[in-house]
Structure 1
């Protein structure tokens, strides 16, 4: 059945966003999706290929580096899901000096556009657990648990880090704080700090997050360093299935009592435990010993805010790994 609610999804052809757009269309929603370039036939074709796209999907060209462009996309919408995030900095004619400034500037412009629209009631920001490190501010160790009170210290350096990973952690932390500052000021704000996402894709290749999640299986040292960066930043690695991430966004959208900051992960596991799960699911995979490092950390996952409001995760750690391996096989990244 067609639903009256109209939803804007920014960065519509991205890994998480394309999955969400597809689900929203299947459930009867009208969707405004933004793309950085409407001339990119592969991304436009992906979205236009969804069932009901011909009647309930409208595409808009908008770029975080020109955030005023998002105003047209949010007009007439009741909910905006802001998923677009700058991963690479563009110096040419840029008003921003780095991805952090671009992410924060984009959030400001999009929220202010929502306020001007007079129709948007709620904005849902797709945040990341990289903004919720349990590291103590002085770097002396980790807190006992990870929950929504944790914020990543921006004054520390992290093992396995590089300029790109640091920039991502900074931009997601600062942008989430910025969007939360608007909560209750004429609009409701939800932030969903998602763990490392795997399980499935509707894109032609596996995402960077899924590649990091199964990096030990595909013997990819670069992606494994991303996995270990997350483990150093967060004590362990929060993981979540893309179907649970999608359902969490729709749950937040459809329930007016969901408001504020939430972490979104169904398992909190060590990289060494991920290796064990890989080998349990695919016994013929041999993981090099250099890709198995047990940190012996015992930090706990302390977030239950989403579940306390009625949300239920459907996928545990083993199923997330199993589905990610099957997806990689289907695409051809794992033989």
Structure 2
């Protein structure tokens, strides 16, 4: 990618990433052949934390309105798909980025466990999606005749405590190495089904996603 003339080389990584995305979108528009751009974002962009601190720490629900619209307009539909933490299996010979976070209470990996704590604190839950469902969601978005906007992609919104309780019940033979949780009693649920309202269906639920993640970690020798 070649930066545009007015690009400031001293910009930080975040600004450079935003600039790069805008350049890609402008090039898509100039091509005249692009019908839809699907941007894979993150559910962390949809935090239900209240900015004013009033009425409790979190909003009652998490949905697509939990962040500021970009107010960008292009000559094609723009889809922002925001998946939850991806679990499941992998074809790689090692655990990829999301699964280690999910199974951190069992592996005892402190840095990954801190990521789990961060997600619970930021979102009021730990939104989960199986990697196969995330792949199917991308294909679904491409197949729609008309689609635009932001879409959360998560099969469920368990709390950190829910995750540890599932591990303890389903895998009693595996030692729980890290039991620290945050947000006890807090579980911010979603009140949106925008993706499902268009016809998308999740194949894997929360418990299946957690179980598959643990089995993957076992298979790769992490547990």
Q: Deviation of residue 95 (structure 1)?
A: 2.1
**TM-score for the superposition, normalised by structure 2:** 0.90
Q: Deviation of residue 205 (structure 1)?
A: 1.8
Structure 1 residue 301 corresponds to structure 2 residue 190: yes
1:15-94 matched pairs, under 5 angstroms = 66=2
Q: Deviation of residue 99 (structure 1)?
A: 2.4
The residue that corresponds to 2:15 in the other structure is: 101
Structure 1 residue 218 corresponds to structure 2 residue 218: no
Structure 1 residue 193 corresponds to structure 2 residue 82: yes
Match of 2:59 among 128, 131, 143: 143
Structure 1: distance between partners of 2:72 and 2:94:
36
Q: Deviation of residue 291 (structure 1)?
A: 2.7
Is the CA contact (8 Å cut-off) linking 1:125 and 1:191 kept in structure 2?
A: yes
Match of 1:321 among 171, 193, 210: 210
Match of 1:202 among 79, 91, 98: 91
Match of 1:291 among 170, 177, 180: 180
Instruction: Point out 4+ residue stretches in structure 1 off by more than 6 angstroms.
Output: none
Change (3 A) 1:223 1:67: farther
Structure 2: distance between partners of 1:219 and 1:142:
29
Counting matched residue pairs gives: 218
Q: Deviation of residue 247 (structure 1)?
A: 0.6
Match of 1:110 among 18, 21, 24: 24
Change (3 A) 1:294 1:287: farther
The residue that corresponds to 1:274 in the other structure is: 163
Structure 1: distance between partners of 2:183 and 2:120:
10
Match of 1:132 among 33, 36, 46: 46
**TM-score for the superposition, normalised by structure 1:** 0.61
Q: Deviation of residue 300 (structure 1)?
A: 1.8
In the alignment, structure 1 segments of 5+ residues that lack a partner are 1-61, 69-93, 153-176
The residue that corresponds to 1:36 in the other structure is: none
Is the CA contact (8 Å cut-off) linking 1:258 and 1:309 kept in structure 2?
A: no
Q: How big is each residue's C-alpha offset from its partner over 1:70-118, in whole Å with a ceiling of 9 and x where there is no partner?
A: xxxxxxxxxxxxxxxxxxxxxxxx8253221122111101111111222
Q: How big is each residue's C-alpha offset from its partner over 1:2-28, in whole Å with a ceiling of 9 and x where there is no partner?
A: xxxxxxxxxxxxxxxxxxxxxxxxxxx
Q: Secondary structure at the match of 2:127?
A: strand
Q: Deviation of residue 276 (structure 1)?
A: 1.3
Over the aligned positions, Cα root-mean-square deviation in angstroms equals 1.9
Change (3 A) 1:294 1:146: closer
Is the CA contact (8 Å cut-off) linking 2:77 and 2:147 kept in structure 1?
A: no
Match of 2:148 among 249, 259, 267: 259
Q: Secondary structure at the match of 1:216?
A: helix
